[in-house]
């Protein structure tokens, strides 16, 4: 039976890499996929991974009905055997409903990939709807690590290396941005709660409050 599967995890845990692997494996068997994405780091209409892999995709805007898009695509005699939706956290809840309808009415597998929570540890609306509707939710096993070496479970937004907890829910950035830009960092729960990023941890280690060492 076709399924709606939600692959979730933090930033930097290999979601897009897995999406590209699924695309490769299925296309190698002669299947044709429809790839949707939104706000990918590589730019408009791209699905990319940090390993340097990239492929073309359909950029999803707010007003796109994904079910109607697939029906129109098929009615024109084109082929689609399955759907990949990357950056699915940025989709609207009604677009997730449309993906579920693709599974049920068009009998296609839909593989959605996304971050579950934002930089404030709040659910993205699209991810929440996926958790509610998906036939399966798979937490990716390639663990991203906090700067301390513990398993990273939270996404932090940073400005100049300092964690921020206010602002718009969606600001496109990446874990590879330089320290003076708006970027993201994955943290364990303890350091997310303490707002301690790698940069602030280094600053604390270099604090002048450390007792001086003097020769006898």
Would you please indicate which residues are annotated as catalytic (active-site) residues?
87
In the chain, the DSSP E strands lie at: 4-8, 33-37, 46-48, 54-56, 58-59, 82-85, 109-114, 136-139, 154-159, 162-164, 182-187
Longest CA span, the chain: 87
Q: Which of 143, 144, 70 has its CA nearest to residue 105? A: 70
Give the single-character DSSP code of 1: -
d(CA 156, CA 191): 10
90 and 126 Cβ atoms separated by less than 8 Å: yes
Taking a C-beta distance cutoff of 8 angstroms, is the pair 136, 5 a contact?
yes
Residue 129 region, left (φ>0) first, then alpha (ψ -120 to 50), else beta?
Answer: alpha
Residue 200 CA, chain-centre distance (Å), reads: 25
Measured distance CA(209)–CA(46) in Å, rounded? 48
């Amino acid at each position: 039976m076709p399924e709606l599967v939600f692959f979730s995890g933090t930033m930097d845990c290999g979601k897009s890499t897995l999406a590209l692997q699924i695309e490769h494996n299925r296309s190698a068997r002669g299947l044709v996929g429809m790839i949707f994405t939104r706000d990918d780091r590589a730019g408009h209409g791209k699905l990319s991974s940090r390993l340097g892999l990239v492929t073309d995709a359909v950029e999803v805007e707010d007003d796109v009905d994904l079910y109607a898009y697939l029906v129109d695509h098929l009615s024109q005699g084109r082929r689609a055997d399955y759907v990949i939706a990357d950056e699915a956290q940025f989709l609207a809840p009604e677009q997730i409903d449309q993906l579920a309808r693709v599974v049920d009415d068009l009998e296609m597998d839909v593989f959605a990939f996304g971050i579950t929570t934002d930089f404030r540890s709040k659910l993205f609306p699209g991810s929440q709807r996926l958790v509610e509707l998906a036939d399966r939710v798979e937490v990716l096993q390639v663990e991203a690590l906090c700067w301390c070496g513990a398993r990273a479970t939270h996404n932090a937004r940073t400005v100049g290396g300092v964690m921020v907890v206010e602002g718009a829910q969606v600001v496109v950035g990446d874990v590879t941005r330089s320290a003076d830009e708006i970027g993201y960092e994955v943290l364990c729960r303890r350091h997310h709660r303490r707002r301690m990023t790698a940069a602030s941890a280094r600053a604390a280690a270099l604090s002048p409050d450390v007792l001086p060492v003097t020769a006898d």
